[in-house]
Amino acid sequence: MKKPDAVYLPERLHWLVPLDQSGTVRADSLIKQKLPGLSRRIREELFSRQAVRINGRPVAKGFKPLAGDRLEIEIPGPLSPFPIPRKELNPTVVFEDQSFLIIEKPGLIPTHPISPFETGTLANALVAFWPRIIGVGKKPLESGLVHRLDSGTSGLLVVALEQEVWLQLKKDLSAKKWKKIYWALVEGIIPKPIKISLPLAHDPADERKMKGIRNPSDSYRGRVYQAITQIHPKRGFKGYTLIEIRLITGVTHQIRAHLSYYGHPVAGDTLYGSTSGKKLSLPAGRFFLHAGQLSLPHPITREQIHCNAGLPEDLQKVLTLLE
């Protein structure tokens, strides 16, 4: 896979709006004309950072400047299609060889950036410590990542060091050759094992969420995904249950959406209806969901690899609080 080149720009660019575009062309369209190599996401990021100005004043992307107005763009640095290398976060390695890694992602750390300007994600650290992963995979900002975990989720994550390895790992994941076990603390009492088989789709009322689809008449956005989750209660507390979760399928937000639909949201998951995060001393955005066990065939030797990551300290403290 050919790695796309970085787009190198000076710190500031400026142009004067010509007479034939006076009051008729939006600011974002002018930038697209002047810098056709910038993606739509990067252009939108520039506006959200107030880095686009007319005559020195920040403007919205729909603003239509007049002839002679000075259009200015402040660029924070070279625009690379890959994550910016940052070593502030030192990833915890659970398994490593010459072909792939299994690392433990902390809670509240995004897996990867959504724009070239973003730092503070796990992917920024990965490309800093393992630069050979740059360009591995299909999406530049997700270099090396075979799958993702939500920002509020902690646990095991697989990273390929080579493109062929990434392809094999993705193939095995799609073929359900991985076995993943999560642990979650949910609101309410779950007395016995249950199997949730509930299709999921994007919620048209909230683009951040998935929703359960019971009937063909249910409203949804995009396609409907089959989703199956197995739940085993491990320990009961007053008003809460610690559960073990096995994913039969892997759909975005599957665990969170399934548990919420059945009235047992993950503790701290306010997006899906939890009200207990503050009571349990969970910071905003962190919920009690941890990817603790992973088994998968080695992408080259086909030997079975087993990895474990116990509950992190912040989640252990929650259980201590409930005891």
Catalytic residue list: 150
Please, are residues 27 and 64 in contact by the beta-carbon 8 Å criterion? yes
Per domain, the residue ranges of the chain are 12-74, 81-175, 176-323
C-alpha span between 277 and 258 (Å, rounded): 19
Residue 62 burial (C-beta neighbours within 10 Å; 0-12, 13-18, 19+)? exposed
Does 81-175 match 176-323 in CATH topology? yes
* CATH code of domain 12-74: 3.10.290.10
**Single-letter residue type at 262:** Y
Q: Select, from the ranges 37-41, 157-161, 219-223, the one with the highest average predicted confidence (pLDDT).
A: 157-161
Domain 176-323's class? alpha beta
Res. 37 pLDDT band, cuts 50 70 90: low
Which of 3.30.70.1230, 3.40.50.720, 3.30.2350.10, 3.10.330.10 would CATH assign to domain 81-175? 3.30.2350.10
pTM: 0.81
C-alpha span between 7 and 81 (Å, rounded): 8
pLDDT digits (tens, 9 = 90+) for 229-247: 999 999 999 999 999 999 9
C-alpha span between 267 and 282 (Å, rounded): 9
pLDDT digits (tens, 9 = 90+) for 274-292: 999 999 999 999 999 999 9
pLDDT digits (tens, 9 = 90+) for 286-315: 999 999 999 999 999 999 999 999 999 999
